[in-house]
C-alpha cells in the first residue's frame, strides 16, 4: 500500500487536545496539482477529511485495550470501540464545515487535526452515505464528547 498526502493542515492548534475542536478554524493547503479537483466542492456545506494523525503512536501493550482519553471514569475498551488517535494505522476521518474554497486552499471549521497534519483525501458530505438514522451509542460516549466539538 502506498499513500501520499494530497495536502497539509494549517491550524492554530499545535498540540493534540481532548476538547474544543468545534470552534477551531483551520485551512487545508492542497498540493497545487490537485487544485482542479476542488471544482464544485464550494457548493457543499460539509466535507469529510481523511488525514494521517500526526504524532500519534501505537503500543499494543498500552493502546489495544484502554480507557478513552485515559480517564478513570470511562470503561475499559478495545481500540476499535473508540476514536483514540493511538491506533494500529493512525488515520483520522472528520466531518467539517466548509467555510470557503480559494484556489488550492480550503477554509474549514471543526477539524480535530494539529498543524502540519498530512491530508490523505477530501470527500463531500452526502447525507445518504454519511448519516445513519437513529444510531445506537453507549452512554459513556455522550459524557466523553462533552466539550469536544
Beta strands at 77-78 and 46-52: parallel, antiparallel or unpaired: unpaired
51-75: per-residue pLDDT in tens?
999 888 899 999 999 999 899 999 9
> What's the confidence (pLDDT) of residue 14?
85
How many residues are given for the chain?
Answer: 149
- pLDDT category, 146, cuts 50, 70, 90? confident
- pLDDT category, 19, cuts 50, 70, 90? low
Domain ranges of the chain: 7-145
Quote the cell numbers at residue 131. 448519516
> What's the confidence (pLDDT) of residue 74?
95
The pair phi, psi for residue 10, each rounded to 5°, is -115, 110
Q: Of 18, 25, 11, which Cα lies nearest the Cα of 82?
A: 18
Task: Please tell me the pTM assigned to this model.
Answer: 0.90
The pair phi, psi for residue 143, each rounded to 5°, is -65, -45
Q: Of 117, 98, 97, 95, which Cα lies nearest the Cα of 106?
A: 98
Determine contact, residues 140/68, Cβ cutoff 8 Å.
yes
3-state SS, residue 149:
coil
| Lowest-confidence segment of 22-26, 76-80, 97-101, 109-113 by average pLDDT | 22-26
Mean model confidence pLDDT for the chain: 92
CATH topology assigned to domain 7-145: Elongation Factor Tu (Ef-tu); domain 3 (2.40.30)
CA distance 116 to 81: 27
Amino acid at each position: 500500500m502506498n499513500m501520499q498526502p494530497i495536502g497539509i493542515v494549517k491550524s492554530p492548534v499545535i498540540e493534540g487536545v481532548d476538547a474544543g475542536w468545534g470552534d477551531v478554524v483551520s485551512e487545508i493547503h492542497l498540493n497545487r496539482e490537485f487544485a482542479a479537483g476542488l471544482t464544485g466542492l464550494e457548493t457543499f456545506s460539509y466535507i469529510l477529511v481523511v488525514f494521517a494523525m500526526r504524532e500519534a503512536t501505537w503500543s499494543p501493550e498500552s493502546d489495544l485495550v484502554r480507557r478513552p482519553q485515559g480517564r478513570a471514569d470511562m470503561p475499559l475498551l478495545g481500540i476499535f470501540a473508540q476514536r483514540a488517535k493511538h491506533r494500529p494505522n493512525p488515520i483520522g476521518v472528520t466531518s467539517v464545515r466548509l467555510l470557503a474554497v480559494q484556489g488550492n486552499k480550503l477554509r474549514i471549521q471543526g477539524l480535530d487535526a494539529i498543524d502540519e497534519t498530512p491530508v490523505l483525501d477530501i470527500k463531500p458530505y452526502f447525507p445518504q452515505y454519511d448519516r445513519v438514522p437513529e444510531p445506537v451509542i453507549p452512554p459513556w460516549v455522550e459524557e466523553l464528547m462533552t466539550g469536544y466539538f
